[in-house]
Amino acid sequence: MFLQGTGRKLREKWMEALRAVLPIVGIVMVLCFSVAPISASILLCFLMGAVMIMAGIMFFTLGAEMSMTPMGERVGTAITGSKKLWLVILLSFILGFIITISEPDLQVLAQQVPTVPNRTLILTVAAGVGLFLVAALLRMLFSVALPHMLIGFYALVFLLVPFVPESVLAVAFDAGGVTTGPMTVPFIMALGVGISAVRNDRHAADDSFGLVALCSIGPVLAVMILGMIFRPHAGAYVPPVLPEISDSAQLWQLFRVGFPVYFKEIALSLAPVMIFFGLFQIFVLKMPRRNLKRIGVGLAYTYLGLTVFLTGANVGFMPAGNYLGQRMGASELNWLLVPVGMLIGYFIVKAEPAVYVLNHQVEEITAGAISASAMGTALSVGVAVSVGLAMLRVLTGVPILWMLIPGYALAIGLSFVVPKIFTAIAFDSGGVASGPMTAAFLLPFAQGACIAVGGNIVTDAFGVVAMVAMTPLITIQGLGLVYQMQKERARRSRGPLTPQERLDRLADDAIIEL
């Protein structure tokens, strides 16, 4: 029975992966046979990478549902139930730190940054996430309004900007985007659900979102502070190696060599999470063997999915993205980078593994009020706009702050007029949308185009992840504004408010005279 259910789930996940990745393959194929011809070697590697990415998404999304989500919920419930504030702070920091080190798209970004050593960048980002996960959990426990915290922390970010070297600024904002990826999102969001279940008040469900939003700010601040202390010098950018193969055996050899590398990398990434959960299970949770077996199978699927996904993304997609960007940037029609980037952005967010987790968790927690399809459309529109703006930056060299400051100002302004849950979901979505697909295809695409037009890689190409993380904040809250207006229109058509509706509109600290 278990195997039959798993087989059916795998078929469902495979169809979802097909719908997500095939549009990107179609766009690249059209470009290859029109404005940006590429060699047969690069095209074959891209197609092989696409197949591996689809298989990876299939296994990962099923594995996350079976393992990361229940693990996060159980740990969140247990941490909150301890009633010891020092223990909540300590365990939250450790969790945020070890899960971030496990994040595959952070590894992808670190390998492409020429200004900061890989290990230094990863440990700095992990510390930032750990500290801000503590802040996020304390916000939930003490019911602090999310918009007020967002205003305070983003004000601090932009106040520090003048003191941060230009070679680090765009990387810092990119770090905030890639940190919340396929490993972090399922666990941290489930952690929020577990904590909100313990709170058991009428705003607990709203506050279960927002953890990813705050955890996306931590890396930005941490890397900015690192830049102020470390004072990095601009290093040499090393583009991805373009594959040259003559037959199918060499194609297979290319991926066969890459697979063990990522197999070991994901093993080292997952080990701290598994050790932490194992100790928690022995001393605190004591879950029944049946549940542990299901989590174990889910972890195996997660491991296999991430390994296959990263192999396909790094070996197949990254060189193709870089070369396509170079060809389009060097052509007389390089202005096509903007509309083509928007088209790729619209579809590439659907291939991000963590997006599935977010969309379905939102639909489940809101009881269908916010559907997964509406979330998907709003995210796609937001990412399309952001990639178009990023390509415009590559062509013109416009400073990234000219776009980030107005964008975040609008997003935070909207947070005061839309329902709380939409604000939390929107800021979570920004981190989720910018995952390994963005780091492994869009960032190399921007870098290739930047090389071709003679721009500065560090200041003009980096920042595309930050742009992808920003625009969903606006589009998802726009969705919330529409939802609120429709709800208000429907209420007016029904007549006066009921006593329960009037009670629901009161603030938590309102005084009711009897």
Give CA–CA dist 118/111, Å, rounded. 6
Q: Is the dihedral of CA 223, 227, 232, 233 positive or negative?
A: positive
- The per-residue b/e assignment along 139-175, b for 16 or more CB within 10 angstroms, e otherwise, is bbbeeeebbebbbebbeebeebeeebbebbbbbbbbb
- Nearest C-alpha neighbor of 226 from the set 123, 359, 97: 123
Confidence band of 83 (pLDDT split at 50, 70, 90): confident
Whether the predicted pLDDT of 21 surpasses 70? yes
Confidence of residue 342 (pLDDT cuts 50, 70, 90): very high
When pLDDT is cut at 50, 70 and 90, the band that residue 302 belongs to is confident
Q: Tell which residue, 316, 86, 96, has the closest CA to residue 219.
A: 96
Query: What pLDDT, on the 0 to 100 scale, is given for residue 350?
Result: 78
pLDDT attached to residue 48:
92
For the chain, what are the domain ranges? 20-249+257-486
Nearest to 395 by CA among 451, 435, 472: 451
Residues 190 and 406 sit within 8 Å (Cβ to Cβ): no
Cα 356 to Cα 191: distance, rounded to the nearest angstrom: 17
DSSP letters for 115-157: SS-HHHHHHHHHHHHHHHHHHHHHHHHHT--HHHHHHHHHHHH
- 22-26, 115-119, 224-228: least confidently modelled range: 115-119
Contact between 73 and 193 (Cβ < 8 Å): yes
The pLDDT value given to residue 198: 63
Q: What is the DSSP letter of 508?
A: T
Predicted confidence (pLDDT) at residue 498 exceeds the cutoff of 70? no
| Choice among 19-23, 309-313, 364-368 with the minimum mean pLDDT | 364-368
Instruction: Give the CA radius of gyration of the chain.
Output: 22
| Digit-coded pLDDT (tens) for 257-280 | 888 988 888 888 788 888 888 888
Q: Which of 368, 439, 331, 446 is nearest to 400 (CA)?
A: 446
Q: What digits encode the pLDDT tens for the residues 26-44?
A: 988 998 888 888 888 889 9
Structure confidence at residue 221 as a pLDDT band (50, 70, 90): very high
Percentage of the chain exceeding pLDDT 70: 87
Residue 213 in this model has a pLDDT that exceeds 90: no
At 186, the amino acid letter reads P
Give the pLDDT of residue 300: 92
Tokens, residue 383 = 């990412």
When pLDDT is cut at 50, 70 and 90, the band that residue 511 belongs to is: very low
Using the structure block, give the residue that is written with the tokens 């939102």. 362
Over residues 22-26, the mean pLDDT reads: 87
Q: Tell me: pLDDT of 154 over 50.
A: yes
Instruction: Give the whole-angstrom CA distance, residue 298 versus residue 445.
Output: 33
Please determine, for residue 204, whether its predicted confidence score (pLDDT) is greater than 70. Answer: no
Of 232, 243, 262, 261, which is closest to residue 113 (Cα–Cα)?
Answer: 232
Our CA angle for 414, 418, 423, nearest 5°, is 75
Least reliable range by pLDDT among 52-61, 338-347, 426-435: 426-435
Residue 212: what residue type? Answer: V
Q: Give me the percent of the chain exceeding a pLDDT of 90.
A: 9
* C-alpha–C-alpha distance, residues 320 and 42, integer Å: 6
Residue 346 CA from chain centroid, whole number: 15
Read off the pLDDT of each residue in 60-65 and give the average, rounded to a whole number: 82
Q: Is the pLDDT of residue 235 over 60?
A: no
pLDDT band at 13 (very low <50, low <70, confident <90, very high): confident
pLDDT of 4 reads 57
Q: What value does the mean pLDDT of the chain take? A: 81
pTM value > 0.75: yes
Q: Quickly list DSSP for 42-75.
A: HHHHHHHHHHHHHHHHHHHHHHIIIIIHHHHHHH
At 203, is the pLDDT very low, low, confident or very high (cuts 50, 70, 90)? low
Q: If we measure between CA atoms, which residue out of 350, 356, 385 comes closest to residue 372?
A: 356
Q: What is the pLDDT of residue 51?
A: 92
Residue 187 has pLDDT above 80, yes or no: no
